[in-house]
A = this chain, B = another copy of it.
Protein backbone atom coordinates (compact mmCIF):
# COMPACT_ATOMS: atom_id res chain seq x y z
CA UNK A 1 0.00 0.00 0.00
CA UNK A 2 1.49 3.29 -1.07
CA UNK A 3 -0.05 6.72 -1.03
CA UNK A 4 -3.81 6.52 -0.81
CA UNK A 5 -4.31 3.03 -2.19
CA UNK A 6 -6.39 1.30 0.51
CA UNK A 7 -6.86 -2.04 -1.22
CA UNK A 8 -5.93 -5.23 0.60
CA UNK A 9 -6.25 -8.62 -1.04
CA UNK A 10 -7.15 -10.98 1.80
CA UNK A 11 -9.71 -10.88 4.58
CA UNK A 12 -6.99 -11.93 7.02
CA UNK A 13 -5.08 -8.78 6.12
CA UNK A 14 -8.28 -6.72 6.24
CA UNK A 15 -8.76 -7.55 9.93
CA UNK A 16 -5.14 -7.74 10.99
CA UNK A 17 -4.79 -6.37 14.51
CA UNK A 18 -8.28 -7.30 15.66
CA UNK A 19 -7.87 -8.64 19.16
CA UNK A 20 -9.98 -10.07 21.96
CA UNK A 21 -12.10 -7.57 23.93
CA UNK A 22 -12.03 -4.92 21.26
CA UNK A 23 -15.02 -2.80 20.20
CA UNK A 24 -16.36 -3.04 16.66
CA UNK A 25 -18.79 -0.66 14.99
CA UNK A 26 -20.66 -2.47 12.23
CA UNK A 27 -22.77 -1.24 9.33
CA UNK A 28 -25.91 -2.91 8.00
CA UNK A 29 -29.63 -2.99 8.72
CA UNK A 30 -31.01 -6.48 9.27
CA UNK A 31 -29.10 -8.52 6.70
CA UNK A 32 -29.13 -5.65 4.21
CA UNK A 33 -25.77 -4.05 3.50
CA UNK A 34 -23.89 -6.06 6.09
CA UNK A 35 -20.16 -6.80 5.77
CA UNK A 36 -20.84 -10.51 5.53
CA UNK A 37 -17.36 -11.67 4.65
CA UNK A 38 -15.71 -9.55 7.33
CA UNK A 39 -18.06 -11.10 9.87
CA UNK A 40 -17.11 -14.57 8.61
CA UNK A 41 -13.46 -13.64 9.00
CA UNK A 42 -14.08 -12.61 12.62
CA UNK A 43 -15.60 -16.04 13.17
CA UNK A 44 -12.62 -17.70 11.52
CA UNK A 45 -10.21 -15.72 13.68
CA UNK A 46 -12.10 -16.78 16.79
CA UNK A 47 -11.74 -13.35 18.38
CA UNK A 48 -13.56 -13.32 21.74
CA UNK A 49 -15.02 -10.87 24.20
CA UNK A 50 -16.11 -8.45 21.50
CA UNK A 51 -18.34 -5.47 22.04
CA UNK A 52 -20.26 -4.84 18.83
CA UNK A 53 -22.42 -1.86 17.97
CA UNK A 54 -24.77 -2.62 15.10
CA UNK A 55 -28.45 -1.91 14.55
CA UNK A 56 -29.28 -5.65 14.52
CA UNK A 57 -27.51 -8.82 15.55
CA UNK A 58 -28.17 -10.85 12.42
CA UNK A 59 -30.31 -13.96 12.39
CA UNK A 60 -29.46 -17.51 13.39
CA UNK A 61 -26.62 -18.60 11.13
CA UNK A 62 -26.41 -15.32 9.18
CA UNK A 63 -24.67 -12.00 9.70
CA UNK A 64 -23.53 -11.25 13.25
CA UNK A 65 -25.62 -14.26 14.31
CA UNK A 66 -22.71 -16.55 13.44
CA UNK A 67 -20.53 -14.90 16.09
CA UNK A 68 -22.96 -16.02 18.77
CA UNK A 69 -22.38 -19.69 18.02
CA UNK A 70 -18.91 -19.65 19.57
CA UNK A 71 -19.84 -16.93 22.06
CA UNK A 72 -17.50 -14.38 20.52
CA UNK A 73 -19.71 -11.42 21.46
CA UNK A 74 -19.59 -10.19 25.04
CA UNK A 75 -21.76 -7.14 24.58
CA UNK A 76 -24.12 -6.00 21.89
CA UNK A 77 -25.25 -2.39 21.36
CA UNK A 78 -28.29 -2.57 19.08
CA UNK A 79 -31.77 -1.20 18.54
CA UNK A 80 -33.55 -4.40 17.56
CA UNK A 81 -32.55 -8.00 18.22
CA UNK A 82 -35.84 -9.76 17.63
CA UNK A 83 -34.82 -11.90 14.69
CA UNK A 84 -32.45 -14.23 16.45
CA UNK A 85 -33.37 -17.12 18.78
CA UNK A 86 -29.79 -17.83 19.87
CA UNK A 87 -29.34 -14.16 20.68
CA UNK A 88 -32.47 -14.14 22.82
CA UNK A 89 -31.36 -17.27 24.65
CA UNK A 90 -27.89 -15.85 25.42
CA UNK A 91 -29.39 -12.52 26.46
CA UNK A 92 -32.00 -14.10 28.75
CA UNK A 93 -29.37 -16.32 30.38
CA UNK A 94 -27.16 -13.30 30.99
CA UNK A 95 -24.24 -14.65 28.93
CA UNK A 96 -24.64 -11.76 26.54
CA UNK A 97 -24.83 -8.18 27.71
CA UNK A 98 -27.20 -6.05 25.66
CA UNK A 99 -27.48 -2.28 25.53
CA UNK A 100 -30.68 -1.51 23.69
CA UNK A 101 -30.26 1.86 21.97
CA UNK A 102 -32.90 3.62 19.90
CA UNK A 103 -32.15 3.37 16.20
CA UNK A 104 -31.78 7.09 15.59
CA UNK A 105 -29.71 7.57 18.72
CA UNK A 106 -27.46 4.70 17.63
CA UNK A 107 -26.95 6.26 14.19
CA UNK A 108 -26.23 9.64 15.76
CA UNK A 109 -23.86 8.15 18.37
CA UNK A 110 -21.82 6.62 15.54
CA UNK A 111 -21.83 9.85 13.57
CA UNK A 112 -20.84 11.79 16.69
CA UNK A 113 -17.95 9.38 17.32
CA UNK A 114 -16.61 10.03 13.86
CA UNK A 115 -17.27 13.76 13.95
CA UNK A 116 -15.53 14.78 17.19
CA UNK A 117 -18.80 15.35 19.05
CA UNK A 118 -18.38 13.57 22.41
CA UNK A 119 -22.04 13.94 23.40
CA UNK A 120 -25.35 15.42 22.29
CA UNK A 121 -28.85 15.96 23.60
CA UNK A 122 -31.88 14.18 22.14
CA UNK A 123 -35.52 13.88 23.17
CA UNK A 124 -35.48 10.23 22.15
CA UNK A 125 -35.73 7.98 25.19
CA UNK A 126 -36.52 10.67 27.73
CA UNK A 127 -38.73 9.20 30.47
CA UNK A 128 -38.08 5.64 29.27
CA UNK A 129 -35.63 2.95 30.43
CA UNK A 130 -33.17 4.34 27.87
CA UNK A 131 -33.06 7.64 29.76
CA UNK A 132 -32.38 6.09 33.16
CA UNK A 133 -29.20 7.43 34.73
CA UNK A 134 -28.70 9.94 31.94
CA UNK A 135 -28.65 13.69 32.39
CA UNK A 136 -31.94 15.41 31.56
CA UNK A 137 -31.96 19.01 30.43
CA UNK A 138 -34.71 21.31 29.26
CA UNK A 139 -34.31 23.31 26.04
CA UNK A 140 -37.19 25.51 24.88
CA UNK A 141 -39.51 23.90 27.41
CA UNK A 142 -38.86 20.31 26.42
CA UNK A 143 -36.82 17.58 28.14
CA UNK A 144 -33.84 16.00 26.42
CA UNK A 145 -31.32 13.42 27.55
CA UNK A 146 -27.56 13.45 27.05
CA UNK A 147 -26.16 10.66 24.88
CA UNK A 148 -22.46 9.99 24.39
CA UNK A 149 -20.61 9.16 21.18
CA UNK A 150 -19.57 5.66 20.16
CA UNK A 151 -16.00 4.79 19.14
CA UNK A 152 -14.64 1.51 17.87
CA UNK A 153 -11.21 -0.05 17.66
CA UNK A 154 -12.43 -1.29 14.29
CA UNK A 155 -15.30 -0.47 11.97
CA UNK A 156 -16.58 -3.07 9.55
CA UNK A 157 -18.86 -2.00 6.75
CA UNK A 158 -20.10 -2.79 3.28
CA UNK A 159 -20.36 -0.43 0.33
CA UNK A 160 -21.31 -0.92 -3.28
CA UNK A 161 -18.50 0.66 -5.31
CA UNK A 162 -15.20 2.15 -4.30
CA UNK A 163 -12.18 3.56 -6.01
CA UNK A 164 -8.74 2.47 -4.79
CA UNK A 165 -8.52 5.56 -2.56
CA UNK A 166 -11.53 4.30 -0.60
CA UNK A 167 -14.02 6.83 -1.93
CA UNK A 168 -17.34 5.05 -1.50
CA UNK A 169 -20.77 4.78 -3.06
CA UNK A 170 -23.58 2.83 -1.47
CA UNK A 171 -26.59 1.31 -3.17
CA UNK A 172 -30.24 1.86 -2.21
CA UNK A 173 -31.12 0.96 1.39
CA UNK A 174 -27.87 -0.96 1.78
CA UNK A 175 -26.41 2.44 2.74
CA UNK A 176 -28.14 2.55 6.15
CA UNK A 177 -25.62 2.61 9.04
CA UNK A 178 -22.56 1.97 6.89
CA UNK A 179 -21.31 5.54 6.35
CA UNK A 180 -21.46 6.46 10.05
CA UNK A 181 -20.07 3.14 11.22
CA UNK A 182 -17.02 3.70 9.04
CA UNK A 183 -16.31 7.12 10.53
CA UNK A 184 -16.46 5.88 14.14
CA UNK A 185 -13.76 3.22 14.03
CA UNK A 186 -10.05 3.74 14.57
CA UNK A 187 -9.36 1.24 11.79
CA UNK A 188 -12.15 1.29 9.23
CA UNK A 189 -12.41 -1.79 7.04
CA UNK A 190 -14.81 -1.75 4.12
CA UNK A 191 -15.76 -4.52 1.73
CA UNK A 192 -17.33 -3.66 -1.60
CA UNK A 193 -18.80 -5.30 -4.65
CA UNK A 194 -16.58 -3.48 -7.08
CA UNK A 195 -13.33 -1.52 -6.98
CA UNK A 196 -12.84 0.93 -9.83
CA UNK A 197 -9.83 2.97 -10.85
CA UNK A 198 -9.31 6.35 -9.22
CA UNK A 199 -11.08 9.01 -11.24
CA UNK A 200 -13.98 6.82 -12.30
CA UNK A 201 -16.30 8.10 -9.57
CA UNK A 202 -17.81 11.55 -9.97
CA UNK A 203 -16.52 13.61 -6.99
CA UNK A 204 -20.02 15.06 -6.53
CA UNK A 205 -21.55 11.60 -6.23
CA UNK A 206 -19.19 10.06 -3.69
CA UNK A 207 -21.22 9.22 -0.59
CA UNK A 208 -18.27 8.94 1.78
CA UNK A 209 -14.76 10.27 1.12
CA UNK A 210 -11.84 7.84 1.34
CA UNK A 211 -10.26 9.75 4.22
CA UNK A 212 -12.39 7.66 6.58
CA UNK A 213 -11.37 4.32 5.08
CA UNK A 214 -8.22 2.45 6.13
CA UNK A 215 -8.59 -0.87 4.34
CA UNK A 216 -10.65 -1.85 1.35
CA UNK A 217 -11.40 -5.28 -0.04
CA UNK A 218 -13.51 -6.59 -2.87
CA UNK A 219 -15.81 -9.47 -1.98
CA UNK A 220 -18.70 -11.54 -3.23
CA UNK A 221 -21.92 -11.39 -1.30
CA UNK A 222 -24.81 -13.74 -0.56
CA UNK A 223 -27.22 -10.85 0.16
CA UNK A 224 -29.73 -12.97 2.04
CA UNK A 225 -33.26 -11.57 2.00
CA UNK A 226 -34.95 -11.72 5.41
CA UNK A 227 -38.53 -11.10 4.36
CA UNK A 228 -39.16 -11.85 0.74
CA UNK A 229 -42.38 -10.03 -0.07
CA UNK A 230 -43.74 -9.74 -3.59
CA UNK A 231 -46.90 -8.62 -5.27
CA UNK A 232 -48.44 -10.26 -8.29
CA UNK A 233 -48.57 -8.46 -11.60
Contact = CB atoms under 8 A, between A and B. Distances in A.
Interface stretch (A27-35, A46-54, A119-127, A180-188): A119-127
Interface of A: 108, 112, 115-123, 137, 139-140, 142, 144, 148, 169-172, 203-205
A115 to B, nearest CB: 8
Given A171-B204, A204-B170, A108 B118 contact: no
Given A139-B148, A148-B139, A204 B169 contact: yes
Given A204-B172, A205-B205, A121 B119 contact: yes
B120 A116 contact: no
Complex A-B, nearest 7 residue pairs according to Cβ-Cβ distance, in ascending order: A118-B139, A120-B120, A119-B121, A117-B120, A205-B205, A118-B121, A118-B144
A144 B148 CA distance: 13
Contacts of A171: 204
A172 B202 CA distance: 10
Contacts of A120: 112, 117, 119-121
Contacts of A121: 117-120
A204 B169 CA distance: 9
